[in-house]
Amino acid sequence: MPELPDVEYYRIYLTATALHKTIARVEVRAPRILEGVTERRLRSVLAGRAFQSARRHGKYVFAAIEGGEGGWLVMHFGMTGRLSYFKDIGDDPKHDRFLIGFENGYFLAFVNQRKFGHVALAMSPEAFAEAKGLGPDALSIGREEFAVRLGERRGGAKATLMNQKVLAGIGNIYADEILFRAGVHPKTPVNTLDEETLGTLHAVMGDVLHTAIAAKRRCEDFPGSYLLPHRHEGGVCPLDGTPLETITISGRRTYFCPTHQSDERE
């Protein structure tokens, strides 16, 4: 699940549940998810403190640590995962890899079935993004910068949208959705797209991400005109029923409509 809209939802969830509550205990149940930090260090940084705010950049959530040395807790979910706030330790969710217990008796769990996720510490979201080489967040990037950054690239449209160094937050599912709605073939070299198409791509990206976040918050399904519900074996284009085609790009399965996403390379 965890592409930008999902992670934005986790940020909202963390904000709604876990801010301004004193942390009493920290437990790491799968050490492999720790990145550049030890359980002992996490304990000393978090115990007795509280989170004061939460932010997101791309697919990362950051929680500001109030008091002490300050700093930020960083979380990335990999291909699976979510946050869960619960009261009874006996109700701890399956696959909880990292647990924060608050003085009020509640817990916040970093749930991560496949263990591709990571927990780290950073001085700031900006410093972390810089160190990782992440591009601007896909929800914040303006039309101009979007056009410039894509214009500098020679790769295919989908691979470029998913490249976290170009812009951060788009993954396999939403790359397909954005390209479908913009009518762009996933292999179109981005440097061949004209200004108008780049503008469309940028606008569609914003629409898709905002729509997805709103849908998550209300636990709604996606609009029927979206590709997402049809993105499976035997799926057809929601516009006219054309069977969707699949190809592999960057090792990820790619679904697209051969009639509405013309191949510009010919």
Partner DNA sequence: CTGTAGACTTGTGCTA
Partner DNA sequence: AAACCACAAGTCTACA
Count interface residues toward DNA (CB under 7 A). 35
Residue 74, strand partner residues: 62, 120
The nearest distance, CB 24 to DNA, in angstroms, is 27
CA distance between the termini of the chain: 34
Q: Is 136 part of the annotated catalytic residue set? A: no
Using the rule CB under 7 A, which residue among 42, 147, 173, 184 binds DNA? 173
Looking at the Cβ atoms of 49 and 132, the one nearer to DNA is 132
The nearest distance, CB 19 to DNA, in angstroms, is 25
CA angle (179, 217, 134) in 5-degree steps = 50
Contacts of 148 by beta carbon, 8 Å cutoff, 6+ apart: none
Using the rule CB under 7 A, which residue among 3, 8, 96, 177 binds DNA? 3
The active-site residue, picked from 56, 59, 97, 149, is 59
Interacting stretch for DNA, rule CB under 7 A, among 82-90, 101-109, 139-147, 250-258?
250-258
Q: Any contact of residue 114 with DNA (CB under 7 A)? A: yes
Using the rule CB under 7 A, which residue among 113, 200, 211, 259 binds DNA? 113
Give yes or no for a contact between 36 and 121, defined as CB atoms under 8 angstroms apart: yes
Residues 48-87 that bind DNA (CB under 7 A): 58-59, 76, 78-79
The nearest distance, CB 59 to DNA, in angstroms, is 4
Q: Is 125 part of the annotated catalytic residue set? A: no
The nearest distance, CB 202 to DNA, in angstroms, is 18
Using the rule CB under 7 A, which residue among 43, 115, 215, 222 binds DNA? 115
Q: Any contact of residue 29 with DNA (CB under 7 A)? A: no
**Distance of alpha carbon 157 from alpha carbon 81, whole angstroms:** 27
φ, ψ for residue 77 (rounded to 5)?
A: -100, -5
Q: Is 3 part of the annotated catalytic residue set? A: yes
Give yes or no for a contact between 217 and 12, defined as CB atoms under 8 angstroms apart: yes
- The distance between the two most distant Cα atoms of the chain, rounded to a whole number of Å, is 63
Give the containing element (helix H, strand E) for 230: none
Residues in the chain: 266
Residue 13's nearest CA partner among 82, 75, 59, 107 is: 82
Q: Any contact of residue 155 with DNA (CB under 7 A)? A: yes
3-state DSSP assignment of residue 179: helix
Q: Is 2 part of the annotated catalytic residue set? A: yes
**Distance of alpha carbon 48 from alpha carbon 67, whole angstroms:** 9
Q: Which residues are catalytic?
A: 2-3, 59, 252
Task: By CB under 7 A, name the binding residues for DNA.
Answer: 1-3, 6, 30, 32, 58-59, 76, 78-79, 95, 113-116, 132, 152-156, 159-160, 162, 164, 171-173, 248-253
